[in-house]
């Protein structure tokens, strides 16, 4: 499985995580194995996002007035790790 998109949506105190991924084959929907696999993809994606945020972020898009949406561009986690190693 390959993570394509991870979207966090906060809805009235509830956290909804939408995980878009590519997969050749895998467990049927609703199985425990598929739930574990998708949860692992989400966990890895969140860890990569946190690592990328440590490397800095650039605001590349904004919209809205009272309800705002900003789009951040982050370095890929592997690029951040390589840059951090080179700096050491």
pLDDT tens for 39-81 read 999 999 999 999 888 888 889 988 888 878 878 787 776 655 5
When mean pLDDT is compared over 14-28, 33-47, 70-84, the highest value belongs to: 33-47
Residue 70, domain extent? 2-87
pLDDT at 44: 94
| pLDDT of 41 | 92
> How many domains, in total, are found in the chain?
1
Nearest to residue 15, comparing CAs of 33, 42, 44, 51?
42
Share of the chain above pLDDT 70, in %: 84
Residue range 23-35: mean pLDDT, rounded = 80
The two structure tokens encoding residue 75: 């370095």
The model's pTM is 0.68
């Amino acid at each position: 499985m390959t993570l394509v998109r991870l979207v966090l949506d906060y809805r009235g105190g509830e956290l909804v995580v939408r995980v878009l991924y590519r997969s050749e084959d895998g467990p049927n929907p609703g199985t425990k194995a598929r739930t574990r696999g998708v949860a692992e993809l989400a966990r890895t994606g969140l860890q990569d996002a946190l690592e990328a945020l440590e490397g800095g972020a650039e605001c590349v898009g904004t919209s809205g007035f009272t309800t705002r949406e900003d789009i951040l561009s982050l370095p890929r986690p592997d690029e951040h790790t390589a840059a951090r190693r080179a700096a050491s």
